[in-house]
Structure 1
Amino acid sequence: MARVVDVVRAAIAPLTRTRCFRRVGPILLPPVERMVGALTGGRVQLSGLLVPSLVLHTRGAKSGAPRDAPLMYTPDGSGRAIVAGTNFAGGRHPGWTANLLAHPDAAITVRGTRMAVRATPIPVDERDAAWARIESQWPGYRQYERDSGRTVRLFRLQPVRAPR
Structure 2
Amino acid sequence: MSRKPYVPPRWFIVLAWYTHRGLYRVTGGRVGLGHPKDRNHWGTMRLTTVGRRTGQQRSVMLGYFEDGPNLVTLAMNGWGEGEPAWWLNLQAQPEVTVRLKGSSRAVHGRAAVGEERVRLWDRWREIDTDLDGFAARRSSETAVVVLEPR
1:38 aligns with 2:25: yes
Looking at structure 2, the residues matched to 65 and 136 of structure 1 have their Cα atoms a distance apart, in angstroms, of 36
Q: Which residue of 2 aligns with 1:81?
A: 71
> Offset of 1:98 from its aligned partner?
0.6
Aligned partner of residue 147 in structure 1, secondary structure:
coil
> Offset of 1:74 from its aligned partner?
1.6
Looking at structure 2, the residues matched to 129 and 103 of structure 1 have their Cα atoms a distance apart, in angstroms, of 25
Q: Which residue of 2 aligns with 1:143?
A: 133
> Offset of 1:53 from its aligned partner?
0.7
Aligned partner of residue 142 in structure 1, secondary structure:
helix
The 5 Å alignment of 1:4-15 reads none
Q: Which residue of 1 aligns with 2:54?
A: 63
Distance 1:27 1:86, change over 3 A: same
Aligned partner of residue 28 in structure 1, secondary structure:
helix
Distance 1:22 1:145, change over 3 A: farther
Distance 1:88 1:73, change over 3 A: same
Is the CA contact (8 Å cut-off) linking 2:64 and 2:73 kept in structure 1? yes
Is the CA contact (8 Å cut-off) linking 1:41 and 1:112 kept in structure 2? no
Aligned partner of residue 154 in structure 1, secondary structure:
strand
Identity of aligned residues (%): 25
Q: Greater share of helix residues, 1 or 2?
A: 1
Deviates more, 1:60-69 or 1:138-147: 138-147
Question: Which residue of the other structure, out of 39, 45, 54, is the alignment partner of 2:45?
Answer: 54
* Structure 2 segments unaligned to the other structure (5+ residues): none
CA offsets per residue over residues 82-101 of structure 1, 9 Å max, x none?
Answer: 11011122110100111111
What TM-score comes out, normalization by structure 1 length? Answer: 0.77
Aligned partner of residue 82 in structure 2, secondary structure:
coil
Aligned partner of residue 36 in structure 1, secondary structure:
helix
Looking at structure 2, the residues matched to 29 and 73 of structure 1 have their Cα atoms a distance apart, in angstroms, of 17
Is the CA contact (8 Å cut-off) linking 2:33 and 2:46 kept in structure 1? no
> Offset of 1:144 from its aligned partner?
2.4
* Structure 1 segments unaligned to the other structure (5+ residues): 1-16
Q: Greater share of strand residues, 1 or 2?
A: 2
